Amino acid sequence: MYLRSILTLVLLALTTTTPLACSSVDKLHREVLRHDAPKQDSDPISGEWDVTFHVHNTTTPAIFKLKLEADKVTGTAYSDHTGPGTVRDGSWVNNKLSFTLDFKKHESIAITGALKDGKLVGEFSTEGFTEKWEAKKK
């Protein structure tokens, strides 16, 4: 009888504490995974972008291929007007984009912008003038 009482108490203790322990482990596991999972918008810059430069009442299409690492932006650009170019001194800080595009056959282009409504929008300066640009991610 004594052994039976002890076994009953042990089983009772196990059946009441095991679910609580499992629940606590599950909650902790979910909390850890939630912090480690990358946020959906943690890198809104990396990728290929269809760019439109607004130049003296006309538009010029281009392509940016950008990569974000921490707050540093690297990448390339191409348009029929400029040819291929590379990103220099690129940064993404406080949701503001800034870089210079260098080309072999065209003057450098200074780019500034920000993400607005899913698009990159901003200004660029080259050849003595400043105009607007925008880009949509492919």
- CATH classification of the domain holding 130: 2.40.128.20
Same domain, 27 and 81: no
Amino acid at 127: E
Judge if 60 and 121 occupy the same domain: yes
Q: Which of 129, 106, 111, 118 is nearest to 58 (CA)?
A: 129
Query: Does residue 98 have a pLDDT over 50?
Result: yes
Question: Are 82 and 61 spatial neighbours (Cβ–Cβ below 8 Å)?
Answer: no
CA distance 103 to 82: 7
Q: 97 and 58, same structural domain? A: yes
Q: Looking at the structure, do residues 55 and 117 belong to the same domain, yes or no?
A: yes
Is residue 42 domain-resident? no
| Domain match, 29 and 56 both | no
Does residue 52 share a domain with residue 33? Answer: no
Q: What are phi and psi of 56, to 5 degrees?
A: 45, 60
pLDDT at position 66 is 98
Q: Are the C-beta atoms of residues 92 and 68 closer than 8 Å to each other?
A: yes
Instruction: Tell me, yes or no, whether 62 lies in a domain.
Output: yes
Rounded distance, CA 81 to CA 61, Å?
Answer: 9
> pLDDT digit string (tens) for 72-87?
999 999 999 999 999 9
Q: Which structural domain, as residue segments, surrounds residue 28?
A: 1-37
Got the DSSP string for 91-120?
A: EEETTEEEEEEEESSS--EEEEEEEETTEE
Q: Are residues 63 and 108 in the same domain?
A: yes
- How many whole angstroms separate alpha carbon 113 and alpha carbon 49? 13
**pLDDT at 53 > cutoff 70:** yes
Q: Is residue 119 part of a domain?
A: yes
Q: Which of 28-32, 74-78, 111-115 has the lowest mean pLDDT?
A: 28-32
- Looking at the structure, tell me whether residues 7 and 68 fall in a common domain: no
Count of other CB atoms within 10 angstroms of residue 68: 19
Domain count, the chain: 2
Write down the pTM of the prediction.
0.70
